[in-house]
Amino acid sequence: MRVHLCVVGRIRSGPERDLIDDYLKRFDRTGRPLGLGPARELEVEDKRGGGMEAEAALLDRACPTGAVRVVLDERGETLSSPELAERLARWRDQGAQDLALFIGGADGLSPDLRAGADAALSLGRMVWPHALARVMLTEQLYRAATILAGGPYHRV
């Protein structure tokens, strides 16, 4: 199952970019034998200032047809790392070819995009800066792959 991070904004070089790249590389290496990956980022920018609706249209175009659509939203379901691993495995085992994970811009995701999602996940009740949310998501993807692989990275 290919994983697509459909995100508003671009992260230039720096520590966050380095962490994201590292976790995506680790996820691909660990997840491929499990039928997870590759993972890639699809960064969009609304240069015309159209707000959440314009961002939603760009995100929708970045999402592969037929993908399981998951929005990251503070009102979403909060999962443990093992629960996220189980969810990824379930989507994979149900035959999903693509998984799209959406992270919105400064104002969040449009209500229509949230309503059309298959699931909404939260990284916790706190709101995180865009770059850190992306780092945390990519780390959790890698952690989920190591859990499914039975590796030692995740300790209870």
Averages of pLDDT over runs of 10 residues in the chain (156 residues) are 97 96 98 97 91 94 97 95 98 98 93 97 90 96 98 84
CB 52 within 8 A of CB 109: yes
Does CATH number 3.40.50.10380 belong to domain 2-149? no
Distance between CA atoms of 71 and 109, rounded to whole angstroms?
A: 8
Cβ atoms within 10 Å of 20's Cβ, excluding its own: 20
CA angle, 48 as apex, 42 and 51 as ends, to 5°? 75
pLDDT at 156: 67
Relative to beta strand 2-8, strand 68-78 is unpaired
All structural domains of the chain with their residue ranges: 2-149
R_g (Cα) of the chain, nearest Å: 15
pLDDT at 68: 98
> Which pTM value belongs to this model?
0.95
pLDDT at 100: 98
Given CA atoms 30, 31, 33, 39 in this order, what sign does their dihedral have?
negative
